[in-house]
């Protein structure tokens, strides 16, 4: 699986996935056929949020689990080239939000943030400033 990490104003863009109860996660999904990882994440962000992104590099690889199984998720830094995020798949992803480092910690403790994002909090601590 691939996922996009977009940071704006010291906050991370995450989607609210309700497919198996509320899970807050970075936008992304499964690769199609022989599609490359970066191609996959760009396609997923276009499908899920209606934005065109440029992929800037690998953020990290994390293991995660969901009701559909266990997966390796490759998360990539992305920048929005065009468009503003909007709900494109309301049945699966009815909303999204921009989350601070403190929000990530809280959501992880509450159990709504997906495991790969909880594992990535030490990396986010290096690039996001705590709220004052």
- Per-residue pLDDT for 132 more than 60? no
pTM: 0.93
- Per-residue pLDDT for 99 more than 90? yes
pLDDT band at 61 (very low <50, low <70, confident <90, very high): very high
For each of the domains in the chain, give its residue range(s) and CATH number, in order of start.
2-127 (3.90.79.10)
Name the helix (H) or strand (E) containing 24.
strand 23-25
Distance CA 76, CA 18 (A): 23
Distance CA 51, CA 76 (A): 15
pLDDT band at 51 (very low <50, low <70, confident <90, very high): very high
Q: Where are the alpha helices (DSSP H) in 1-132?
A: 37-49, 101-110, 115-127
Q: What is the pLDDT of residues 72-98, one digit of tens each?
A: 999 999 999 999 999 999 999 999 999
Grouping H, G, I as helix, E, B as strand and the rest as coil, residue 16 is strand
């Amino acid at each position: 699986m691939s996922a996009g990490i977009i940071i704006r104003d010291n906050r991370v863009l995450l989607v609210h996935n309700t497919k198996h109860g509320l899970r807050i996660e970075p936008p992304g999904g499964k690769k199609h056929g022989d599609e490359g990882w970066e191609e996959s994440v760009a396609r997923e962000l276009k499908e899920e949020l209606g934005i065109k992104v440029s992929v800037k590099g690998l953020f990290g690889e994390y293991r995660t689990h969901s009701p559909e199984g266990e997966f390796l998720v490759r998360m990539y830094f992305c920048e929005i080239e065009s468009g503003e995020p909007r709900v494109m798949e309301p049945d699966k992803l009815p909303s999204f939000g921009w989350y601070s480092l403190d929000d990530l910690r809280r959501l992880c403790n509450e159990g709504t943030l997906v495991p790969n994002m909880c594992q990535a909090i030490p990396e986010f601590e290096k690039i996001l400033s705590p709220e004052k």
